[in-house]
Every structure is written in C-alpha cells, then in structure tokens.
C-alpha cells in the first residue's frame, strides 16, 4: 500500500455505532431483512445494514437539499452527547 492511500475509500469504510431505534421500526426492518435475504435474494438485502444505510443516505441527501443548498453539511469530529436543548424559538 502506498503511503497516504488506503485500500478502502472512506465512503465505503464501515464503522460500528450505537443508536436507538423505535422498537416497531426496528422489528419491521429486521423482519424485512430476514425475509428478503431468505426468500428474495434478487432484492439485494442480505442484512439490516442493507436497509439502514440506503435509508439514512437518502434522508441525509434530502436534508442537505432542503437546508444546505444541496451541499454536504460541515464535517463534525464528535457529536455532543444527549439531546440538544430546545431553542426558545422552537415549539
């Protein structure tokens, strides 16, 4: 490997994160992934990640278009923990 060049481009690198789902959404997604992996291989769904990644990507693309002129939001190194406090102008 050449110095400074990675075999796996950053866009394809996978990282593990812990997030919380609404239970009903998670159960539906797990059921869909399991069923499709077994019964419909042509769907291209082999695991939950094959549902989650495209869904998040599509929604972030929509948010970028709606709120940031279609450009990616600035990169953050670390998200603050917990929920953000409500701004007074938001209800």
**Torsional class of 44: left (φ above 0), alpha (ψ -120 to 50), beta (otherwise):** left
The residue ranges of DSSP E strands in 1-91, in sequence order, are none
Going by C-beta distance under 8 Å and a sequence separation of 6 or more, which residues neighbour residue 18? none
pLDDT for residue 3 is more than 60: no
Give the whole-number percent of the chain exceeding pLDDT 70.
82
User: How far, in whole angstroms, is CA 22 from its chain's centroid?
Assistant: 15
Confidence band (pLDDT; 50, 70, 90) for 78?
A: confident
- Model-level pTM greater than 0.75? no
**49: its two tokens:** 């990640």
């Amino acid at each position: 490997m050449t110095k400074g060049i990675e075999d796996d481009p950053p866009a394809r690198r996978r990282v593990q994160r812990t997030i919380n789902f609404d239970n009903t959404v998670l159960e539906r997604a797990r059921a869909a992934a399991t069923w499709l992996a077994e019964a419909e291989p042509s769907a291209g769904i082999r695991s939950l990640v094959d549902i989650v990644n495209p869904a998040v990507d599509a929604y972030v693309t929509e948010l970028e278009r709606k709120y940031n002129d279609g450009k990616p939001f600035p990169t953050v190194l670390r998200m603050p923990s917990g929920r953000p406090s409500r701004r007074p102008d938001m209800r």
